[in-house]
Structure 1
Amino acid sequence: MRRVASGMTALAAVVALAACSPTLPAERGTQGKPATPSVQHADYLVFYATGRHQQALAAVERAGGTTVGEDVRLGYLLTQGGGSKFAENLGTDPAIVGVSPDRVIGSATARRTRPAAFPDASSLIASHAGEPLAGRQWDMRMIGADRANTKVPGSKQVLVGIIDTGIDGKHPDIAANFDRELSRNFVIDKPKDENGETLDGPCEAKDCKDPIDEDDDGHGTHVASTIAAPINGIGIAGVAPGVRLVSIRAGQDSGFFFLKPSLDALTYAADIGVDAVNMSYFVDPWLFNCANNRSDTRKQQLEQQAIITGMQRAIDYARGKGVTLLSALGNGATDLGRPAVDDKSPGYPEGDQKVRRVDNSCINVPAESNGVISVSSLGPSGRKAIYSDYGVEQADLSAPGGDVLDGTGAKATRSILGAAPERVLRAAGRIDASGNPKGADVVRDCTRSPCSYYQYLDGTSMAAPHATGVAAILISRFGKPGTGGLALPPANLEDLLYKSAVQKACPTPRQYVYKAYGQTDTHVCEGNQSRNGFYGHGMVDAWKAATFEP
């Protein structure tokens, strides 16, 4: 099991340039819905030790709570009541291994570019045959996806799950590959948080549950388009433009995540036969989850234990059903093998943060969970992005994720261009009443009607879907026919991903100095060419994945 650590030292340059959005992806289509409880709300998720189900039920009762649901696949109970000391009292029982409040606990790992900081960057926009905006996709050329598209665009028998804030299934450059029948939303909008502060805002749907083809944040839509925007004469093309996209929503409109929707999303992906899942977010409120940090209360320790245990069980369940899991590594500019301070946790509700010492026993979930392939981010020059987390134990692969500072000045087009929901851009004031973009970070394509919109974003959230797209190419080539589609065991796919990656040695000198806006930060690359902390086993390569023989 990969051990991790944290301690975010976010660069002032990146903070000034891009705000991190709070958030951080059976026979197909016919059976295998997860056995989620019908209860609308629970106070706690109570995880019990293997084989201790009955003891856990009794422990909940003794602690004054009531069990209102359960998921035997992942070994947890949903409970209500018990009073303010319920978690601490329950945590003394040997049958219990974690207790987490059933509330928002996550953040996406995306960085949004601030257009006012960017001059025009037309020098980076190359002429290129293909989709109308292909010339802006330096990322696809970097990994050979533009060539791979002509050889192995990906099979419609391959299902890629996006566990995120949703997908705009009506977007002209996504609709053709969006699987509406299989997509699910495990989230109910929450207008306000526990302190009465605005969270998701007013509900758009009558029951506060958005339709399965909507994304009111935009993060999931961007991710999905990088993986599989179709070749259709509109906008851009994804890494694997022929595969199917399944939206498995676990994120709120505001970007935050509940733990339970994350668990439900993973088990649902497993039960319907999804081949690969993209997870460009981290489960929070703890940026780093520590089982026994001395500066945390017993209740906080139990919550972190529940996050570590619950997500690992869901990951194991998904892998056991043939799902390969890929995750963004994180945007803290941190050596995850040498964390020191976590001053971002707990990140929900707002204002609860404290400063605590952390070490390598603490992990970022799911990026550092066992069985997850984690992806660091590269800028257009191929260097590790200024904001990307790294670590010789933690980075498995690298992929283009954008870096506005990778060169002279700051330019939006060094970021990753991906699909954006028009309604989100309008709400954010990024397009005017006539639909014209207000800055270099937004692009409109009116080659066909209706017009489609795209946005430049930076982040390991943008790197991970490039790797997921390459995984989809490999499944299309090497997957074996099964019930409802192609199948490739996760261990085999992981091996193929590493073998098809282009190895990248640490820079010389290994101490890489990042300078921006008067601040200097030094990142040290450890390891050798075949595996190191900046690039993992190497940079994903779509062309090699489409052509090599292992």
Structure 2
Amino acid sequence: MRRRILSSAVTLSVVAATLVVTQSASSADSTTAADATAHDYVVLYEPGTAETDARAAIQAAGGTVVSSNTEVGYALVRSAAAGFAQAADASPALVGAARNRSIGKAPAEVRADADAVERLTEAERAAAAAAPRTTLGKAAKGTGDPLSPLQWDMAAIRATPAGSYATEKGSKKVTVGIIDTGVDGSHPDIAPNFDAAASRNFTTDMPDIDGVCEVASCVDPADVDDDGHGTHVASTIGSPLNGIGVAGVAPEVHLVNIRAGQDSGYFFLQPTLDALTYAGDAGVDVVNMSFYVDPWLFNCTANPADSPAEQQEQRIVVEATQRALDYARSKGVLPVSASGNEATDLGVPGVDASSPDYPVDAEGDPIAARERTIDNSTCLSVPAESDGVVTVNSTGPSGRKAYYSNYGTEQSDVSAPGGDAYDTANGRLDPKALVLAAYPQHLAVANGDVDAAGVPTNPMVVRDCDGDVCGYYQYLQGTSMAAPHAAGVAALIVSRYGTKDPAHPGTLTLAPSVTEQVLLGTATDVPCPVPAQFTYRRVSATAGVVTSTATCAGPADDNGFYGQGVVDALSAVS
């Protein structure tokens, strides 16, 4: 699972027909001293509050509306008033205000820790590079795309030519939205199914955390991914059967980039709310969400370790995200989320020592993560524990719950392949136990994973060519990789059973409740291991043998490790 959602800089993208944009009091050409100390906030309206009344309350508190979303009931507000947040919190027309852009530079180790599971640690990558190379085998004609032999994940859910492809490959009348770090629409194994015109970028690059902007406006085109995470997710969902590289769960489905993640992997509140609203208005059928809300791993409504301002911020994140999810679902969108990579029982989360992971306080001053005792009844991981979301755990090649995957009897809906580098016969790392999917070429070069001749430099990256057209693919693991398998199966379900969508002519639709019912109901039941306390054994090149445990609870048809089972593409469309 790729982190985050807190709140971000102003986006110049058009959100949707329902987004009302109002210019701030001062323009970029007439910056004043007050502007230099102004902050941006997401202000949530009380339910039923009229837009005019909300704007009046914001103005009275000392804020200026930059943009607003009348459907969900929030505004992006700028204010230089020292007591703006407190005044907004006190207004009867407003739920309150949460800082939208935290000013400060996230230390490199924060991002490195978050990437350690998905991309492996530097030591693990070095160990993989030192291991003997294996000869790359390619699929025989008619048995999938060339790299299908490396896609154990697709075989595990029967998304293969002999499985679901024979019945349903997906439809261009069905759209899956990837709410992530972007999608490389030029990748040869994504381009045939990618709709650049319908794609949107709701983020603005922030040099203090994202590095130098790639374009002058700092707003990347909607077919760019400078992180690689979103491209991997999109590929798993819908890479076409086109004679190159890999194939996705739904190889003929329509893919749309609805970017809400920064290059650095942080997901802030306002772009995420905008992305969910856009998904509902644009006729998207399924959205994949492989992130959580920054800076809090758990958003707690009244944790005594947090200040009143921090408590209010977390309450607003929970409520605002829930409203946006409800809106999207009311428009026919099924939200699918990763459960997280902390190896935590979400029903008994215990202590959180990683929050806040973005090192600033409510006033923008640097702070460090601190230890908080998490109360399951008042703390939520958003969006994984939000209502109306299908939450997905991760499995490895053997079918076991992945060592890093979160779990929990209340929180787990289904499971899907997400990779487990140590799910091998001897417990030693094997890159092929991860999930292989598309990798933007420019990132592969920039990261040193491909040399000047275009040849991969390590076993974490694979190249496949069709004539002079080459695609690059990387091995990743995580619940971020599990969720798109479930989202892809959901897209197959809409393709198979959907009906004409009167709101969006030429497309199909299916009530999210029906899609969810079929997705969960056709998943393959997997019982808890015996004994229920499972011990993971990982043989590390640097640390030796490492063990950890996780305890499964519940019956075979609905338990904490697997939810209602591992998704099954063939059963879902049969």
With normalisation by structure 2, the TM-score equals 0.86
> Shift of residue 120 of structure 1?
4.0
Alignment of 1:55-454 (within 5 A): 56-103=54-101, 111-113=118-120, 114-118=124-128, 119-120=131-132, 122=134, 129-146=143-160, 147-192=163-208, 199-349=209-359, 352-360=368-376, 361-407=378-424, 408=426, 409-454=428-473
Counterpart amino acid of 1:83?
A
- Residue of structure 2 aligned with 1:35, choices 19, 33, 51: 19
Counterpart amino acid of 2:524?
V
Distance in structure 2 (CA, Å) of the matches to 1:470 and 1:365: 23
Residue 30 of structure 2: aligned partner: none
Counterpart amino acid of 2:380?
I
Distance 1:341 1:255, change over 3 A: same
- Residue of structure 2 aligned with 1:538, choices 544, 555, 565: 565
Maintained 8 Å contact 2:76/2:270: no
> Shift of residue 124 of structure 1?
10
Q: Which runs of 5 or more structure 2 residues have no equivalent in the other structure?
A: 6-14, 25-37, 361-366, 539-543
Distance 1:209 1:338, change over 3 A: same
Maintained 8 Å contact 2:43/2:75: yes
> Shift of residue 494 of structure 1?
0.6
Give per-residue Cα distances to partners, 1:416-450, cap 9 Å, x unaligned.
00000011111111111111111110000123322
Q: What SS does the corresponding residue of 2:19 show, helix, strand or coil?
A: coil
Distance in structure 2 (CA, Å) of the matches to 1:37 and 1:298: 31
> Shift of residue 101 of structure 1?
1.1
Maintained 8 Å contact 1:98/1:309: no
> Shift of residue 92 of structure 1?
3.2
Distance in structure 1 (CA, Å) of the matches to 2:570 and 2:75: 46
Q: CA RMSD in A?
A: 2.3
Maintained 8 Å contact 2:182/2:261: yes
Deviates more, 1:440-449 or 1:212-221: 440-449
* Residues 1:520 and 2:547 are matched in the alignment: yes
Q: What SS does the corresponding residue of 1:348 show, helix, strand or coil?
A: coil
Counterpart amino acid of 1:394?
Q
With normalisation by structure 1, the TM-score equals 0.89
Distance in structure 2 (CA, Å) of the matches to 1:534 and 1:126: 33
Distance 1:32 1:506, change over 3 A: same
> Shift of residue 188 of structure 1?
1.1
Maintained 8 Å contact 2:174/2:254: yes
Distance in structure 2 (CA, Å) of the matches to 1:499 and 1:103: 41
Q: What SS does the corresponding residue of 1:431 show, helix, strand or coil?
A: coil
Give per-residue Cα distances to partners, 1:31-86, cap 9 Å, x unaligned.
96441535589611111211234664454344333334322211113222253332
Maintained 8 Å contact 1:98/1:304: no
Maintained 8 Å contact 1:67/1:80: yes
Give per-residue Cα distances to partners, 1:361-403, cap 9 Å, x unaligned.
2111111100000100000000000000000000101000000
Q: Which runs of 5 or more structure 1 residues have no equivalent in the other structure?
A: 1-19, 25-30, 193-198
* Residues 1:509 and 2:531 are matched in the alignment: yes
Distance in structure 1 (CA, Å) of the matches to 2:511 and 2:467: 40
Give per-residue Cα distances to partners, 1:515-548, cap 9 Å, x unaligned.
334443221111111111100010000111121x
Residue 41 of structure 2: aligned partner: 44
Q: What SS does the corresponding residue of 2:473 show, helix, strand or coil?
A: strand
- Whose RCO is larger (CA < 8 A, sep 6+)? 1
Distance in structure 2 (CA, Å) of the matches to 1:287 and 1:412: 28
Deviates more, 1:225-234 or 1:48-57: 48-57
Give per-residue Cα distances to partners, 1:398-421, cap 9 Å, x unaligned.
000000011221000100000000
Distance in structure 1 (CA, Å) of the matches to 2:172 and 2:60: 52
Deviates more, 1:61-70 or 1:248-257: 61-70
* Residues 1:488 and 2:515 are matched in the alignment: no
Maintained 8 Å contact 1:104/1:258: no
Give per-residue Cα distances to partners, 1:494-521, cap 9 Å, x unaligned.
1000111101111111111123344432
